[in-house]
Chain A
Amino acid sequence: MDFELNQEQRMWQNTVHDFCDQHIRPYAAEFDEKAEPMKMTFRKMGALGLLALNIPEEFGGAGMDAVSAAIAIDELGYADGGTALSIAAHNGLGCAPISMFGSQMQKEEWLPGLSSGESGLGALALTEPGAGSDLVRGLSTRAELDGDSWVINGSKAWITNASLAPVIITLCRTDPEAGTAGFSLILVPSGTPGLHIHPSEKKMGVRSSPTHALTFENVRVPAANVLGEAGQGLYQTLQILDGGRISIGALSLGIARAALDEAIRYAKERELFGKQLADLQATRFKLADCQVEIDAAQLLVYRAAWLKEEGKPFTREAAIAKLYATEMAERVCREAIQILGSYGYSREYPVERMYRDARLMTIGEGTSEVQRMVIAKRVISG
């Protein structure tokens, strides 16, 4: 057993950290305030390989191991939760499905532009106004074959990166009689007539990540745009989400580390009762507890990533990592605000933003309750 990153992973971590420190972190507050994505950095990220975490080398990808991918999202989360969410969604939800299930032609068409950032960021549309956790019963977006095209009608909600995406992978019901085997993931190029991308949602946090509702009005795409085989959509989605969960766990880890660093810095500077805040035992215990939780989450995230890399089952471990890391991040951000007192509650200090960003993580890509369902099922049935 080996608990150390290898040399490659360490160099990658340093590189991504330095990049984020220069190009993302200094702008996090501004883009949160403006609620706009940091478009100017996406191409730069492409050059490093940050947009190709899940793309094989022959399509411009980095052929990266899952631990290195988690490290990248963790470092992005440390710099800006919103940007990290968009990049996590791009890689895990937008690119991974094409890498995993796409035909040679689909890969050639979409992956090079996505991995360089030239064509934009990837997006996956599962959630609907009436269906989130319960896609099987709730999903109503319908795709019907008409000659050699799919005709899609319905609406989607809360779709990350939709306004930045060249193509939106859309989960549709293609055979209402077939139950769980009646879904398909369909590639919908974003310029297709009848596809409406609504203005960005006004959100509490992750505001530099754009989220949109979509409407599909007789949207017509070639039959060949189905990802893999028709009818496989739901099973594909569950596999995609397993990987996405590691990513959201890693992102939460980054936010928590950033919040703890702010808290430590402040505690060392602030003087009260003739001492430094960091010398008061109540503070020290809080900081210690935060570090314990961060370390525990990190081990869980790395374990899930390692299993994924080894090609072993990791659904249970990814759910555990996501559940723990996301709830941990909220607790750590809460403590950081507490340590900073009134400043913590102020927009002038970053922990307020981190807290708002962290809050999303227990909802997106499967709520905490859904993670508990996934874990419980496997705990109970052994």
Chain B
Amino acid sequence: MKIIVCVKQVPDSAAAMSVEDGKISWGDAPLVINPWDEYAVEAALRLTEAQGGDVIALSLGDENAKEAIKHALAMGCSEAILVNDPAMAGADTQAVARVLAAAIQKIGGADIVVFGKQAIDSDVGATPSMVARLLGWPAVTLVSEIVECTQSEIKASRAMEEGRQQVAAELPVVLSIVKDYGEPRYPSFMGIRKAARASVPEWTVADTGIDLPSAVVTWPNVMAPPEREVTNEIIEGSNPEEIAAKLADKIMEEKVL
């Protein structure tokens, strides 16, 4: 089984974000693998551990994306490819999806392409569906459990607000994975060593065999949300029951519930 997992490099979730001249900045905070994509890598690895086969990590990004790729390799992916093209600056989701789909086709022979649920920086969450549409493959999004997977079919549980849904789809298929899937593994020392020594081929958009896609969405204005005023109030009482009752009253009074 051949599985491709798409990973993105994002600012650490602990980074302080700000907007400067209509551009988002995270200062010099380190870039890390998109946390959701660690679940995607975990799912891809578990599938090949059960089925045999290889996992290839794919990322579109600049030099900085190498950290995300190395992390995926250290977790156990056997190869990685970086699509690095300065002309992609200013890209939108459909442009990103077109390049990823083209790269997936160029790699060829994939049975499953796994995505994270969304990227924690731009939070669009549409890349997996768009890539599936471009490839003409079924998309099974928000997967919380892979119930069964054979060489030709996959049965999975989807986690939605309303509950769980079981779906089946034929391979090849695009999946996006949510946290309920299970904790991603830590890289082992041997994985890290392999990753540190791996050479990661870099492709331009032209190498994937398509013309440079142009963005259709623009961001005319980006602003920071207004700062919220926060006040603290410690609720006191002689016993936990009394404190709980006061807290409940307060919550009702403030119309939080």
Contact = CB atoms under 8 A, between A and B. Distances in A.
A68 B196 contact: no
B192 A15 contact: yes
Interface stretch (A3-11, A323-331, A336-344, A368-376): A3-11
A11 B30 CA distance: 13
B29 to A, nearest CB: 14
A48 interface: yes
A68 B189 contact: yes
Interface string B128-149: 0000000000000000000000
Is chain B's binding surface mostly helix, strand, loop or mixed?
A: helix
Nearest to A57: B190
Nearest to B190: A62
B136 to A, nearest CB: 38
A266 interface: no
B186 A18 contact: yes
Contacts of B70: 7, 11
Most chain A beta carbons < 10 A, residue from B186, B189, B190, B196:
B189
Contacts of B106: none
Contacts of A57: 190
A48 B187 CA distance: 6
Nearest to A69: B189
A57 B194 CA distance: 13
Interface in A220-254: none
A49 interface: yes
Contacts of A19: 186
Contacts of B186: 15, 18-19, 47-48
Interface string A1-44: 00000111001100100110000000000000000000000000
A39 B70 CA distance: 31
Contacts of A11: 70-71, 74, 187, 192, 195-196
A47 B190 CA distance: 10
Given A11-B70, A11-B74, A62 B195 contact: no
A73 to B, nearest CB: 13
Interface in B164-194: 185-190, 192-193
Given A7-B196, A8-B192, A8-B193, A15 B74 contact: yes
B196 A6 contact: yes
Contacts of B187: 11, 15, 48
A181 interface: no
Interface of B: 70-71, 74, 185-190, 192-193, 195-197
Which 10 residue pairs across A and B have the least CB separation, nearest first? A49-B189, A8-B196, A62-B189, A11-B192, A49-B188, A7-B196, A19-B186, A15-B187, A48-B186, A48-B188
